[in-house]
Amino acid sequence: MSIQKTLGEFIVEKQSDFPHAKGELSALLSAIKLAAKIVNREINKAGLVDITGASGVENIQGEQQQKLDMYANEIFKNALIARGEVCGIASEEEDNYVFFDNKNSRNGNYIVLMDPLDGSSNIDVNVSVGTIFSIYRRVSPLGGPVNMEDFLQVGRKQVAAGYVIYGSSTMLVFTTGHGVHGFTYDPSIGVFCLSHESLTIPKTGKIYSINEGNYIKFPLGVKKYLKYCQEKDESTNRPYTSRYIGSLVADFHRNLLKGGIYIYPQTAQAPSGKLRLLYECNPIAFLAEQAGALATDGYNPILDLKPTELHQRVPFFTGSPEMMATAHEFIAKFKDE
């Protein structure tokens, strides 16, 4: 029986791929790995124990009962504080960024932005959810507090990014700018094993993923592109097939493996769309580009957008390059109508 390489071994082996390699980024990824295992354990118990309820409720010991996304936030935060490489975080679950004001962390070189449990409304119905993370070098002086500039860096400056998908199996997929690698969790030994080395997205595919319930609100270019996806044309393998889970990580992961396009566009009511630039779109865009996919707001690469706010939203289009090119043509053609 062959023994697969573990995530820990892979990180040690690829140490030189990490910018400013001093083992810090490896330690940081180990913290994420540990937190992912704990969150995975809790998610697997959803339905058995009361971890899906709303926060604000006290349990019998008089403790606050936490929703699983709050719980995941605490687990990731605590795992990152414990190591000292990270001086601060921003999270979907925190209104403001958090400075890790202790002796060790103050000298940490990295900041992390995360969505600790994306798609958490899917937990109650046993559907895949994910954790998304984005890692930057700090720009504020070492030893002092972090500031907003640390967190509003352009996506191109990410040094690593990834996601954990808690699905039919649990996987951790990440990039440090040297390809995209996927590790599947083996719960029997408690280890992530290399299962998908150097992932690349097919140049084209048959899947389009969008919440079509919002069709009436979509920009005309998106509506026309959807009709194009549904038309019959043998030369381009159409009609395509529609797949939408409602968990960005799971929808992206499937399209990455099979080829496809994911769209969460702007609407008249929500001119910036729904998804968050800093901890949802930027990390997914970094992975996408590393895997040969494209990720844009319909016009410009996500990774080139200059963030202005921590919880900023952005229209999001990502997927196989040939499908993205066609979607862009439709958007440009029907821009002003």
Q: Footprint of ligand AHM on this chain (CB under 6 A)?
A: 92, 115, 118-120, 211, 246-248, 251, 274
Which residue, 151, 163, 170, 71, is CA-closest to 113?
151
What backbone torsions phi and psi does residue 264 show, to the nearest 5 degrees? -125, 90
Q: How far is the CB of 118 from Mg ion (least distance, A)?
A: 4
Q: How far is the CB of 173 from Mg ion (least distance, A)?
A: 16
Which residue, 184, 223, 203, is CA-closest to 327?
223
CB of 134 or CB of 176, closer to ligand AHM: 134
Helix %, strand %, coil % for the chain, to 5? Answer: 35, 25, 40
Dig out the tokens for 84 from the structure: 């000292």
Q: How far is the CB of 16 from ligand AHM (least distance, A)?
A: 34
Partner in contact with 274, chosen from ligand AHM, Mg ion, none, beta carbon below 5 to 8 Å by kind: ligand AHM
CB of 115 or CB of 289, closer to Mg ion: 115
Containing H/E element for 37?
A: helix 24-43
Q: How far is the CB of 85 from ligand AHM (least distance, A)?
A: 26
Q: CA angle 17-5-156, nearest 5°?
A: 30
> Are the C-beta atoms of 50 and 71 separated by less than 8 Å?
no
CB of 24 or CB of 115, closer to ligand AHM: 115
CB of 184 or CB of 247, closer to Mg ion: 247
Q: How far is the CB of 308 from ligand AHM (least distance, A)?
A: 20
Q: How far is the CB of 246 from ligand AHM (least distance, A)?
A: 5
> Does residue 93 belong to the site contacting Mg ion (CB under 5 A)?
no
Residues between 94 and 123 that touch Mg ion (CB under 5 A): 115, 118
CB of 84 or CB of 319, closer to ligand AHM: 319
> Does residue 69 belong to the site contacting Mg ion (CB under 5 A)?
no
Distances (CA, A) of 40 to 91, 130, 164: 19, 10, 9
Dig out the tokens for 29 from the structure: 């990824």
Partner in contact with 211, chosen from ligand AHM, Mg ion, none, beta carbon below 5 to 8 Å by kind: ligand AHM
Residue nearest to Mg ion (CB): 118
What is the distance between the alpha carbons of residues 82 and 157, in angstroms, rounded to a whole number?
25
Residues between 118 and 147 that touch Mg ion (CB under 5 A): 118
Report helix, strand or coil for 94.
coil
For 177, other C-beta atoms within 10 Å of its C-beta total 14
Instruction: Give me the residues that bind Mg ion (CB under 5 A), please.
Output: 115, 118
